[in-house]
Amino acid sequence: MATSSALITAKSQEPCDTTKAMPFLDLAAELRNLIYEHISDTTPLRLPHQTQEPKLVNPSPMLLVNKQIAKEYHDLALISATIEIQVIDFDFDHVIAYLDGLSDKDAARLTRNPPTQTIRFELWAAPPVLGWVKIIPWLEKFKETNDIASKIGLQYVWNPSAGKSGARPKVTGGDIHLLVDALEWMEGKDRAWKELGKIKAALELGVGLCKG
């Protein structure tokens, strides 16, 4: 695994490496952690849609002030912060690149407490065809029980608003039929089968089905 930090803050900028006195760092660690927890609760981490060294982003300007502050937040955030990720046309490549690039320490933090640490995927698609074939590499991640993806709580939400082309995508009965067939074929394949089932449920809840 990579050894570089997994978190960069707002707009992919590095925090300042300043030697100026930081009164915030004079606070007790317990108080600083409470502030970091508040940031985590109010500003979820996000992952840009890029496959070249993708890094989590938090828009809070406070985290750009000082590298020590950014690192302290980073260590806490991977344990408890909400992580929200957009997935377009079922292409999870940026998610796979991020998880595969985590250092051992960051991977341990991310998987320490699955009930409270959850990655929430917002599913988008560009009409008219949903890119089901792109989902295969993501499902392949769950074949290995030791893979980090198998140790994290995952949620999926379908966004029925505009996709990449600006038109409202439709989930058809045929799309759901494909998922049903895939689920039957994969039945018993543990976590991958469960994840595909959650994606199917997200589509059914998020979009009114039309005939087709």
pLDDT digits (tens, 9 = 90+) for 38-76: 888 888 888 988 778 788 887 788 788 888 898 899 888
pLDDT at residue 129 in the model: 56
Q: Rounded mean pLDDT of 123-145? A: 76
Residue-wise pLDDT for 151-206, tens only, equals 888 999 887 664 444 444 555 666 666 666 666 666 656 788 788 888 878 877 76
2 within domain boundaries: no
Are the C-beta atoms of residues 183 and 193 closer than 8 Å to each other?
yes
For residue 68, is it within any domain?
A: yes
Do the domain assignments include residue 140?
Answer: yes
Range of the domain at 72: 10-206
Residue 212 lies in a domain: no
By percentage, how much of the chain surpasses pLDDT 70? 67
User: How far lies 168's CA from each of 71, 139, 164, 177, 185, in Å?
Assistant: 40, 26, 9, 20, 30
Is 127 part of a structural domain of the chain?
yes
Q: Is pLDDT larger for residue 23 or for residue 133?
A: 23
Q: Does position 116 have pLDDT exceeding 80, yes or no?
A: no
Residue type, 61: P
Domain total for the chain?
1
Does a structural domain hold residue 1? no
Residue 187 lies in a domain: yes
- Residues 6 or more apart whose CB falls under 8 angstroms from that of 131 comprise 89, 90, 91, 125
Whether 211 is in a domain gets the answer no
pTM recorded for the entire structure: 0.76
